[in-house]
């Protein structure tokens, strides 16, 4: 099929949605489709067979589009809409694959050029905005109606997790909604040379590691408060945090100092995605203290494949993939999260057992091979729908 992918963000960058889009493009390419990707000006070029990246022009010097809602993002979304119309006028696409809010843009393509679209539901936009701006409840209701329209007018909804698929199924037939989970960011558990983090930092005990951005919803406050409690019980262990913008790192480093654990919390900053296995292998325990959100963090799949035990908050964002067999789940309260952390720190055998079960689960259910097969089935249904529409 000839597919136009709308990617309303900088592409490629080493962060959640762009990584997911690269995964999508790789699978579409390997499944034999020809793909044009319309995206923002910023980002690294990627080379994939039968995939062409079409960038908007940098306009008025606007760059540095951040994660989530922003006026910069809205500005480039408008330009994305105009460029999409030009592309649809010049090229015959079988389908538009619209990521997140670009599904609203794709509606115009359906109306004006009769080009159907797939709604790639990587998050719930109304919920995202309400979390960031809790006073905008009226706006939330309006955005919920818009989300409903995007779902109903699509030819198919691809949801990244069960909680998002439930939203879609309220307005779309069951057989036109599918869950397409993310996958680990590396393909195998090959032996990885140690970076010697514990030795270089002088850690006499275990390394507790967090990987990801330092946005408020990630629960870094909870993590630091919990680690303070655990540190008070056994001061040998250290917390290593990878990722985050400079301002966030400075803020949380200050918080760690104020809690009296500054010497035992190490902020290593952002690291290349391709180096992720080298860092995960250095951990004794991997943590995801997220306190808000519904979609499963992409890092969870890589955490699981590493074979290291995962400690996460007992929330929907995690329990769609993690359970009491392949992880340790704790309520998002410092005391309880600290108790669960201490239990893992004291029991190496439990850490090993949990890690092995996580590897088994991720290899069986969340490998790239499984992802590509699911995507092929989804596009098989779309192809049949398009064929039926042409015959009608």
Range of the domain at 114: 2-183+367-391
Percent helix, strand, coil in the chain (nearest 5)? 50, 15, 35
- Residue 190 scores a pLDDT above 70: no
**Residues 167, 314: one domain?**
no
The confidence score (pLDDT) of residue 251 equals 97
- Residue 353 placed within a domain: yes
**Residue 347: which pLDDT band, with cuts at 50, 70 and 90?**
very high
CATH of the domain at 83: 3.40.50.2000
Q: What average pLDDT does this structure show over 170-179? A: 95
Looking at the structure, do residues 133 and 61 belong to the same domain, yes or no?
A: yes
Same domain, residue pair 99 and 8: yes
Q: Which of 16-20, 55-59, 164-168, 249-253 has the lowest mean pLDDT?
A: 16-20
- pLDDT tens per residue across span 124-155: 876 776 666 666 666 767 888 999 999 999 99
- pLDDT, mean of residues 80-102: 97
Residue % of the chain over a pLDDT of 70: 95
Query: E-assigned strands of 184-229?
Result: 207-211
Residues 234 and 350 in one domain: yes
Q: In angstroms, what CA-CA distances link 352 with 304, 344, 349?
A: 12, 10, 5
* CB 7, CB 38: distance < 8 Å: yes
The pLDDT of 346-368, averaged and rounded, is: 96
- Residue 191 domain flag: no
Residue 390 has pLDDT above 80, yes or no: no
Is residue 76 situated within a structural domain?
yes
Within a domain: 188: no
> So what's the pLDDT on residue 120?
97
Contact yes or no for 185/302 (Cβ under 8 A): yes
pLDDT: is 390 or 310 the higher one?
A: 310
DSSP one-letter code for 312:
E
d(CA 4, CA 94): 8
Least confident window among 64-68, 144-148, 291-295: 64-68
pLDDT at 169 over 70: yes
Residues 151 and 52 in one domain: yes
Number of domains in the chain: 2
Pairing state between β 328-330 and 310-313: parallel
pLDDT given at position 68:
72
Which of 133-142, 159-168, 331-340 has the least mean pLDDT?
133-142
What share of the chain in percent tops pLDDT 90?
82
In a domain, 91, yes or no: yes
The answer to whether residue 190 is domain-embedded is no
Residues 155 and 251 placed together within one structural domain of the fold:
no
Same domain, 317 and 224: yes
Q: Are residues 344 and 380 in the same domain?
A: no
Helix (H) or strand (E) holding 354: helix 348-365
Based on the fold, state whether residues 206 and 321 are members of the same structural domain: yes
d(CA 365, CA 356): 14
Q: Quote the pLDDT of residue 125.
A: 74
Do 150 and 11 have their domain in common?
A: yes
Domain assignment present for 192: no
In this structure, the answer to whether residues 75 and 161 fall within a common structural domain is yes
- 386 with 355, same domain: the answer is no
The pLDDT value recorded for residue 75 is 95
Residue 97 phi/psi, 5-degree rounding, is -105, 105
CA angle (128 as vertex; 9, 43 as ends), nearest 5: 15
According to the model, what pLDDT value does residue 131 have? 67
Q: What are phi and psi of 46, to 5 degrees?
A: -125, 150
Give Cβ neighbours of residue 201 (< 8 Å, ≥ 6 apart): 238, 240, 266
Does residue 337 fall inside a structural domain? Answer: yes
């Amino acid at each position: 099929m000839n597919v136009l992918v709308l990617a309303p963000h900088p592409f490629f960058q080493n962060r959640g949605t762009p990584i997911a889009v690269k995964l999508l493009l790789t699978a579409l390419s390997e499944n034999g489709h020809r793909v044009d990707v319309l995206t923002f000006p910023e980002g690294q070029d990627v080379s994939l067979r039968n995939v062409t990246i079409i960038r908007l022009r940098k306009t008025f010097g606007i760059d540095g589009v951040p994660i989530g809602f922003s006026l910069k993002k809205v500005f480039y979304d408008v330009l994305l809409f105009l460029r999409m119309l030009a592309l649809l006028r010049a090229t015959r696409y079988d389908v538009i694959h619209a990521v997140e809010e670009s599904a609203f843009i794709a509606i115009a393509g359906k109306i004006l050029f009769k080009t159907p679209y797939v709604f790639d539901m990587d998050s719930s936009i109304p919920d995202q905005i309400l979390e960031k701006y809790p006073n905008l409840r009226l706006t939330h209701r309006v955005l919920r109606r818009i989300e409903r329209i995007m779902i109903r007018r699509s030819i198919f909804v691809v949801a990244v997790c069960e909680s998002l698929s439930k939203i879609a199924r309220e307005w779309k037939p069951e057989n036109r909604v599918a869950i397409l989970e993310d996958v680990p960011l590396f393909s195998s558990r090959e032996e990885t040379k140690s970076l010697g983090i514990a030795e270089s930092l002088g850690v006499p005990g275990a390394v507790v590691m967090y990987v990801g951005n330092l946005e408020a919803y990630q629960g870094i406050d909870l993590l630091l408060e919990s680690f303070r409690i655990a540190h008070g019980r056994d001061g040998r262990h250290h917390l290593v945090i990878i990722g985050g913008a400079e301002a966030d790192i400075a803020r949380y480093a200050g918080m760690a100092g104020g809690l009296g654990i500054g010497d035992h919390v190490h902020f290593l900053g952002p690291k290349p995605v391709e180096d992720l296995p080298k860092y995960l292998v250095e951990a004794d325990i991997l943590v995801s203290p997220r306190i808000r959100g519904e979609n499963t963090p992409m890092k969870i799949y890589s955490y699981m494949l590493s074979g290291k035990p995962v400690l996460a908050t007992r929330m929907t964002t995690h329990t769609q993939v993690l359970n009491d067999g392949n992880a340790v789940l704790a309520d998002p309260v410092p005391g309880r999260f600290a108790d669960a952390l201490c239990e893992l720190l004291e029991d190496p055998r439990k850490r090993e057992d949990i890690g092995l079960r996580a590897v088994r689960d991720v290899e069986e259910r969340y490998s790239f091979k499984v992802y590509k097969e699911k995507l092929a089935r989804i596009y098989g249904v779309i192809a049949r729908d398009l064929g039926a529409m042409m015959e009608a």
